[in-house]
Amino acid sequence: MGEIIILADVSNNILKDSTAEVVTAALSLGDNPIVIVPGTSPDVAANAASNYDGVGSVIALQGDCFATYDSAAWCEAIASVSPPGHLLTSSSSMGKELAARLAASRNATVIQDVIHVDGNSITHPIYSGKANEKLALNGPSVMTIRSNIFKPTGTSGSASITNVNCSSDLRTTLKEMVAKASEKLDVSEADIIISGGRGMGSPQNFDKLYNVAKMLGAAVGASRAAVDTWEEIPHSMQVGQTGKTVNPSLYIAVGISGAIQHLAGMRTSKYIVAINKDGTAPIFRHADYGIIATWEEALPILEQELGALLG
């Protein structure tokens, strides 16, 4: 069946922790996976990857094409050093796009957001998490591994590193980078999210959520109702079916009733806290910790408690 290959999740030449979870998933498919670490100067990230327990070897893939994201060019460069077999990476939006291209270039099937690997049967969610689908693998595959599901592998390994240079022509031009207006974290990047719904009353009241988010290093999200009601709340903040699907360690829903369309985007969060004045709101059926209270009462106490706890 060939090798087991892992494409490391690297951002600005820094190895992301999600790669340790991908290694665990890969080890249930076969031993000694090969980790490919792309970058303009991948040495530090490759060293970090070589410490993952269970890794067979590491390819530090140096290429100028990795300076800006271009899925076609990256795919070509990565494919050039990938032996046949199953290939795995993280299910970030970049990871999912690269996985789709790599699968197509290898005549493999791509399976996104994998949550369970058992020999040759692979499980992933469908219908926005309303069902799971277990697939049998009868040939090569490329999988993305959903975050916060697999336990990260340890870091006491010492795999060998091979340095490879590659070049690949960019097919797109980065004309301009419009930086974010502020240092606000994006919901798709954050491990803790605090979201507000129309129950927040006004977009100005989202400032209260930002205060809590700042203490937790969290991103602020919103329900579709909030995004549709207030133009100050951009679509980029929307969590749900027609917004972003998130999978953080902690999701705090404030003044959100929990419509199916919102649940579709966040139900797989590891822990869910709901704060809502309506005790019958559907969100409480999905919450690990539900607090029936208005946000006006609950948020100041939350802020105070977090302040005492986190300094």
Partner 1 sequence: MVEIVVLVKQVPDTNAKIEIKDGRADLSMIKWITSPYDEYALEVALQHKEAIGGTVTALTLGSARCDKTLKDAKALGVDKIARIDVSEGYQDSSSVQSMLAEACKKLGAEVVYCGKAAADTNAGSTGPGVAEKLGWPSIANVTNVSFEENSLELMQPSPDGQAKIGVNLPVVVTCDKGMGEPRRANVKGIMMAKRAMVEMIDVGNFEGNTSVIEHSSPPQKPPGKSYDGSEHVPEVVKLLRDEANVI
Please report, as residue ranges, which positions from 126 to 145 form the binding site for partner 1 (by CB under 8 A): 126-141
Binding of partner 1 by 116 (CB under 8 A): no
**CB 102 within 8 Å of CB 7:** yes
| Six-digit token string for 258 | 């929990």
The rounded distance, in Å, linking the Cα atoms of 59 and 66 is 15
Binding segment for partner 1 (CB under 8 A), chosen from 21-29, 38-46, 53-61, 184-192, is: 184-192
Cα separation of 30 and 40, whole Å?
29
Q: Which of residues 87-106 bind partner 1 (CB under 8 A)?
A: 93, 96-105
Q: Does position 43 bind partner 1 by CB under 8 A?
A: no
Q: For residue 173, what are the CA distances in angstroms to 10, 68, 170?
A: 21, 9, 7
For the segment 209-248, give every residue that binds partner 1 (CB under 8 A).
216, 235-236, 241-242, 245
Q: Which is nearer to partner 1, 72 or 164 (CB)?
A: 72
Round to whole Å and give the CA distance between 306 and 121: 43
State how far the Cα of 98 lies from the Cα of 14, in Å rounded to an integer.
18
Out of 173, 231, 280, 311, name the contact with partner 1 by CB under 8 A: 173
Q: Which stretch binds partner 1 (CB under 8 A): 43-51, 53-61, 195-203, 258-266?
A: 258-266
Count of residues of this chain found to bind partner 1 when the rule CB under 8 A is applied: 91
**Taking phi first (over 0 means left), then psi (-120 to 50 degrees means alpha), and beta for anything else, what does residue 11 get?**
beta
Least distance CB 108 / partner 1 (angstroms): 6
The Cα 63–Cα 132 span in angstroms is: 38
Under rule CB under 8 A, residue 294 binds partner 1: yes
Neighbour-count burial of 244, counting CB atoms closer than 10 A to its CB (0-12 exposed, 13-18 middle, 19+ buried): buried
Task: Kindly state whether residue 280 participates in binding partner 1, applying the rule CB under 8 A.
Answer: no
Which residue, 44 or 286, is less far from partner 1 as judged by CB?
A: 286
- Per rule CB under 8 A, is residue 287 in the interface with partner 1? yes
CB closer to partner 1, 58 vs 106: 106
Exactly one of 186, 205, 210, 229 binds partner 1 (CB under 8 A); that residue is 186
